[in-house]
Chain A
């Protein structure tokens, strides 16, 4: 099976712009979670989507949003970019707890976002 794919891999944006990142989960996985990884804060949960619905949300401002499509692909959007948004954004996919008792997340390679 192909793994989780994320596009683009690298992105440079200017403060104040907005950005959209894309994630394609492993085939058959319907749950997608997003994380932000920075040297200072480590890995922090952004949100989780399942069946096109946001199921959980982390402690991030409303500038961070996401959505999931009927084919389970997911996008996250960050509006009004700030310098502190520079990070590696990771997507993870899994089967839902209803589909499997073993909730394992498989991570993609990430999108490296640099805000200047």
Chain B
């Protein structure tokens, strides 16, 4: 069955610390990969995406993610977090082809709390 696993349920960091959130997926076929962020009281926003090409992708607000096909992973990183990064982060995958792109499969999310 298709699934997405996010390793950490809740991560607590101090400002300026480095961040890495793990994401692994199980999907038989070519995939597109996404990270979404949900700030407190706000709706889901697309942070970054991978469709093809360079496996290191850069998103908004200094975030980046690396697609490692052999490990079925798409980890999210940021060198130095800020208090404003406090939010919930969701990894998601969909099929790159076949007509079911509208079905995003999400991980359970990782809550990030950044202490000022």
Contacts and interface: CB of A to CB of B under 8 A. Distances in A.
A45 B101 CA distance: 11
Contacts of A110: 43
A105 B99 CA distance: 14
Contact of B44 (A45, A50, A107): A107
B105 A103 contact: no
B116 interface: no
Among A31, A43, A55, A102, chain B packs the most CB atoms within 10 A around the CB of A43
Interface residues of A, number: 26
B43 A102 contact: no
B102 A104 contact: no
Given A97-B101, A104-B34, 13 more contacts: A33-B103, A35-B104, A42-B90, A43-B109, A48-B103, A56-B100, A102-B49, A103-B32, A104-B46, A105-B104, A107-B45, A109-B42, A110-B43
> 3 nearest interchain CB pairs?
A48-B102, A43-B106, A107-B44
